[in-house]
Structure 1
Amino acid sequence: MQNFASSEKNITREPGVVVAAGNSIRDDEASIATRAAWLHYAGGLTQSEVARRLGLTGLKAHRLITKANQDGLIKIFVDGDVSECVELESRLSERFGLDYCEVVPDFDPDALPLKALGIAGARYLKRQIENGEYAMVGVGHGRTLAACVEHLPRMAAGGTSFVSLLGGLTRKFAANPHDVIHRLAERTGAEAYVMPVPMFANTEQDREVLLGQHGVADVLELARSSGLVLAGIGTAEPEASLVATGMVARSEMDEVKRMGGVGELLGHFFDKEGKPFETGLSKRVLALCREDLRRLRIVAVAGGVIKIPAVLSVLRSGNLAGLITDERTARALMEGMPVG
């Protein structure tokens, strides 16, 4: 087991309601205050419902809404982009049984909008650290989570620790996903635990031997205690991050795709209907088992045109409690759903 320690601006618009944020609230809080105010005053949600939707404590939600109101920042006005995102959040939450959903407006033209998702994921993680609700936060790895850590400001983690949920050693150091949790520890000064093993063992027998090692077993036990899990969603395509990092051979991913694999969550693959299935890879994965995933609160940060089928697959699996995605992906997820 390894441990790493270390003038007024209108925000929304649409005929009827306006939420404006001034300089009296810090830039980071202004965005959250805007969303909280919109949900409370325009969306009709109670403050406790607002807190649950945004991943805040009740006290924090009340303070933001009260502060915005006292400073005269609430006006009758609505911005189309933000209101449409909130509507998509509500529809996705209802359709897939999510208790948290955040849809960020499109501003990143790339097929994989790492900047937009990274900023949104970093803000969400920052709020969870500040709330101090979770003593242990489990994290996956991949390009999107790396972007989240990249946009996370340096801050004290308080009583929050982090644990990697699956092995991640690769032959390519530059692409080593350990760097995600390592940098997370550096940014927050938190204790962070990793499993010093690859994501996939060479054989099923090797997997059993590695899982039985004292350090690995200890980290898995910590992972099972995670109050919150922040994960990415992978694909079964040749350009998947698992292939790019050398964790999975191209031929192995081709096999997964031939068998109907579409989405990957923390080392486990699902078909287009969200049903899990066994592959040669899944029998060798050094990670939490599927039964463990069902018991954890998992919030995924994922989006982009290339990942829409994979995100839909994992949403249908029922393993997610929350989703942070971009507006383009959110629309495609809803439009691609069959009626009835």
Structure 2
Amino acid sequence: MSRALMHTAARMHYLDGLSQVEVSRRMEVSTATVSRLLAQAREEGIVRIEVIDIEEVGELGGRLAAALGLKAVRVSEAGRAATLAPEVGTLLTDAGLAPGGVVAIGWGRAVQSVVAAGLPPCPGVTIVPAMGGVNETEGHFQINEFVRSAAAQMGGVGQLLHAPSIVSRKLSALLEQDPGIARLIGLWDEVDAAILGIGRYERGRAGIDMSFSEAQAERIVGDVLRHYFDAEGRAIRWPGQENLLSINEEQLRRVPLCIGVAHGREKAEAIVGAARSGMVNALVTDMQAATRILELVEREDR
């Protein structure tokens, strides 16, 4: 089999966290072919599977927390988004959320996988979306569905936000007059824990053209809830950002446990920027991202 095909299949499955069924769909081959490609990739050394000692994983989390100034970092050994869920669950359980507490949910592929894999029981908590809806049909944008699923898993009460994430000033004023929406938005000041995706900025990708200038686009490394930042965590604002219906940066910095979830080497710069921005104070990631983050931070220290 072609080494290029083996490499493509391996990258999609092991780095991007796609199932073999999804890889077969994207490569337009059968799932049996994907299975053979992955097996041969391991035989030929394109893929190397290493079982990491659990103490080493814990040590890596501690090093990352110190390097990024975070309260806690949990590192998953596997490179799939779904494997982040138990680590997110541990952080939520350790937080001891009481009935009446508020949990905010963001959007993105990592958040989608974490919610799909399951969250721990936290009876009586209120689950809210961290921003309004996004005009995209793909599953990882469906933030209200994440809230509904999370509430069912945790034994909490879901509060859905039936409003777009970007609104005009006129619509914003009208929404604030709606008792239900005003009550939900008011809960953003009372969030006890949040689960948020950390996005990597890719210029020209559909759905994220926020009219940045050329100079701004050169600096951006990522975003949290469409709040963009550079590698040092400095905010990079876009025209019309004041009309974004979302928890704002200062509200996020006041959340006692704000968990950023992201995986893969390609997310390392965005994770560093998010940590430095202060919009997340805890991190759940994988070994690949973790080792790359340490490389970046140690390079800066030289």
Cα distance in 1 between the residues matched to 2:251 and 2:149: 26
Q: Which amino acid aligns with 2:202?
A: E
Kindly indicate whether residue 147 of structure 2 is the aligned counterpart of residue 181 of structure 1: yes
Which residue is equivalent to 2:83? 116
Unmatched runs of 5 consecutive residues or more in structure 1: 1-78
Give, in angstroms, the shift of residue 179 of structure 1: 1.2
CA contact under 8 A between 1:118 and 1:149: conserved in structure 2? yes
CA contact under 8 A between 2:249 and 2:279: conserved in structure 1? no
Percent sequence identity is: 23
Cα distance in 2 between the residues matched to 1:251 and 1:227: 31
Q: Which amino acid aligns with 1:180?
A: F
1:219-234 correspondence runs (5 A): 219-234=184-199
Cα distance in 2 between the residues matched to 1:191 and 1:209: 25
Kindly indicate whether residue 237 of structure 2 is the aligned counterpart of residue 237 of structure 1: no
Kindly indicate whether residue 279 of structure 2 is the aligned counterpart of residue 312 of structure 1: no
Per-residue deviation, residues 75-118 of structure 1 (Å, max 9, x unmatched): xxxx953222222111111122212111111x33xxxx322223
If the length of structure 1 is used for normalisation, what is the TM-score? Answer: 0.64
Give, in angstroms, the shift of residue 339 of structure 1: 1.0
If the length of structure 2 is used for normalisation, what is the TM-score? Answer: 0.72
Question: Over the residues paired in the alignment, what is the CA RMSD in angstroms?
Answer: 2.7
Which residue is equivalent to 1:301? 261
Secondary structure class of the residue paired with 2:128:
strand
Kindly indicate whether residue 249 of structure 2 is the aligned counterpart of residue 284 of structure 1: no
Cα distance in 2 between the residues matched to 1:101 and 1:161: 25
Per-residue deviation, residues 309-333 of structure 1 (Å, max 9, x unmatched): 2111111112322111111111111
1:93-112 correspondence runs (5 A): 93-105=65-77, 107-108=78-79
Cα distance in 2 between the residues matched to 1:172 and 1:80: 38
Unmatched runs of 5 consecutive residues or more in structure 2: 1-50
Cα distance in 1 between the residues matched to 2:289 and 2:191: 28
CA contact under 8 A between 1:169 and 1:178: conserved in structure 2? no
Count of paired positions: 246
137, 151, 164: which one aligns with 2:117? 151
185, 199, 220: which one aligns with 2:165? 199
CA contact under 8 A between 1:303 and 1:311: conserved in structure 2? no
Which residue is equivalent to 1:274? 233
Give, in angstroms, the shift of residue 187 of structure 1: 2.4
Which residue is equivalent to 1:33? none
Change (3 A) 1:183 1:271: same
Give, in angstroms, the shift of residue 239 of structure 1: 8.3
Which residue is equivalent to 1:213? 178
Give, in angstroms, the shift of residue 221 of structure 1: 1.2
Secondary structure class of the residue paired with 1:194:
coil
CA contact under 8 A between 1:132 and 1:159: conserved in structure 2? no
Q: Which moved more, 1:257-266 or 1:96-105?
A: 257-266
Which residue is equivalent to 2:132? 167
Per-residue deviation, residues 221-265 of structure 1 (Å, max 9, x unmatched): 11211111121111221587xx4xxxx3x5437658626322111
CA contact under 8 A between 1:138 and 1:162: conserved in structure 2? yes
Give, in angstroms, the shift of residue 122 of structure 1: 4.2
Kindly indicate whether residue 301 of structure 2 is the aligned counterpart of residue 339 of structure 1: yes
Secondary structure class of the residue paired with 1:283:
helix
Secondary structure class of the residue paired with 1:199:
coil
Cα distance in 2 between the residues matched to 1:276 and 1:142: 20
CA contact under 8 A between 2:105 and 2:147: conserved in structure 1? yes
